[in-house]
C-alpha cells in the first residue's frame, strides 16, 4: 500500500508555464491525507513560494524545497543544508559576469538577486512571487546559501549547460531545473535526501512511495521510490530513469485514491 506521494512542480504539476496549482490537486491532497497518505511537494523553488502555491492545503502536506536543501512539515524545519561560501561567491560572480545570465542565491527565507533587467526582476518578484532581497553589490550577500541558480531567458542550450558543468561540476552538482534554469547545489543535496527523511519519519520503504517528475533534478527522487512516473514531455534520460510515463499527475492520483492506496490495481 502507498503511504507517500511526492511530486515535482514546474513541468509536472505546473505545466505550460503556469504559476497556479490546479484546484483539483488540493482536493486530491486532502483525500490522500484522509487515507493516511502523505503528499510531498518537491521542487527547486523556495519554501515561501511553495507554501503560497499550496495555501489551501499547506497544513495537510509536506515540502522539499531548493532541490532537497530544505525539508519542512507543519512549519517544522526537518533539516537545512548549507553551501561552501567561497564556492557560492565564485559561482555567483561567474553568472553575474556572463552576458544574458542572471543569478539567484537561496537562503532559508529569501533569495538574493541582483537583476540586470526588468524582465528578471518582474519574473522573480511579480510573476513567480518569490520572497526576494534585491541587492546592489555582491558584498550584501551575508546569509548562508543553500543553492545558487542561473537563469538564461532564451533557455538553457546544450552548449550553456556544458559550460556550467565543465566550470563547476567537479565541485558541486550542476543540474538542469527547467527550460531556462541550471542549479548549483552541494554534492550531498538532492530531492532524494528529503524523500529519505520523510520515509524515516513515517517508517516506510521505497515500495510504499510514488514520485512524479520531469527534469534531471528529479532523477534521484525517482530512484528513491519503487513507483516513479516521468512526464511524457520529459527529457529522455529522465524517462529512462522512471518506471512509467504519464501525461498528467491528477489522473494517477485519482486512480490511486479509488484503489484505496493499492497502486497495483491502477495498472
- The pLDDT tens digits for 58-74 are 999 999 999 999 999 99
Length of the chain: 267
Task: Identify the H or E element spanning 193.
Answer: helix 191-202
Q: What is the pLDDT of residue 16?
A: 86
Angstrom distances, CA of residue 150 to CA of 2, 39, 106, 112, 183: 36, 29, 11, 12, 6
Q: What is the pLDDT of residue 12?
A: 97
- The pLDDT tens digits for 174-190 are 998 888 999 999 999 99
- The pLDDT tens digits for 23-43 are 999 999 999 999 999 999 999
- What number is the average pLDDT over the span 121-132? 95
Residue with cell 490537486: 25
Exposed e or buried b for every residue in 17-44, given b needs 16+ CB within 10 A? eeeebeeebbbbbebbeeeebbbbbbbb
- pLDDT of residue 124 exceeding 90, the answer is yes
Amino acid at each position: 500500500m502507498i503511504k507517500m506521494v511526492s511530486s515535482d512542480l514546474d513541468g509536472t504539476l505546473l505545466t505550460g508555464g503556469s504559476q497556479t496549482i490546479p484546484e483539483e490537486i488540493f482536493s486530491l491532497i486532502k483525500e490522500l491525507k484522509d487515507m493516511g497518505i502523505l503528499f510531498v511537494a518537491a521542487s527547486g523553488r523556495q519554501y515561501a513560494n511553495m507554501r503560497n502555491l499550496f495555501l489551501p492545503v499547506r497544513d495537510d502536506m509536506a515540502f522539499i524545497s531548493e532541490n532537497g536543501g530544505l525539508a519542512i512539515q507543519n512549519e517544522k524545519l526537518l533539516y537545512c543544508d548549507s553551501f561552501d561560501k567561497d564556492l557560492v561567491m565564485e559561482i555567483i560572480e561567474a553568472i553575474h559576469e556572463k552576458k544574458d545570465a542572471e543569478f539567484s542565491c537561496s537562503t532559508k527565507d529569501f533569495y538574493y538577486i541582483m537583476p540586470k533587467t526588468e524582465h528578471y526582476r518582474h519574473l522573480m518578484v511579480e510573476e513567480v512571487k518569490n520572497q526576494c532581497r534585491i541587492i546592489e553589490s555582491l558584498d550584501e550577500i551575508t546569509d548562508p546559501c543553500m543553492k545558487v541558480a542561473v537563469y538564461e531567458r532564451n533557455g538553457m542550450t546544450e552548449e550553456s549547460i556544458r559550460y556550467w558543468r565543465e566550470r563547476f561540476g567537479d565541485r558541486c552538482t550542476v543540474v538542469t531545473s527547467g527550460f531556462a534554469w541550471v542549479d548549483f547545489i552541494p554534492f550531498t543535496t538532492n530531492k532524494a535526501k528529503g524523500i529519505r527523511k520523510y520515509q524515516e519519519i513515517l517508517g516506510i520503504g521505497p515500495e510504499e512511495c510514488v514520485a512524479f517528475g520531469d527534469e534531471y533534478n528529479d532523477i534521484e527522487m525517482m530512484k528513491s521510490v519503487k513507483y516513479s512516473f516521468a512526464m511524457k514531455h520529459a527529457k529522455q534520460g529522465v524517462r529512462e530513469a522512471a518506471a512509467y510515463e504519464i501525461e498528467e499527475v491528477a489522473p494517477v492520483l485519482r486512480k490511486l485514491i479509488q484503489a484505496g492506496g493499492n497502486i497495483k490495481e491502477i495498472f
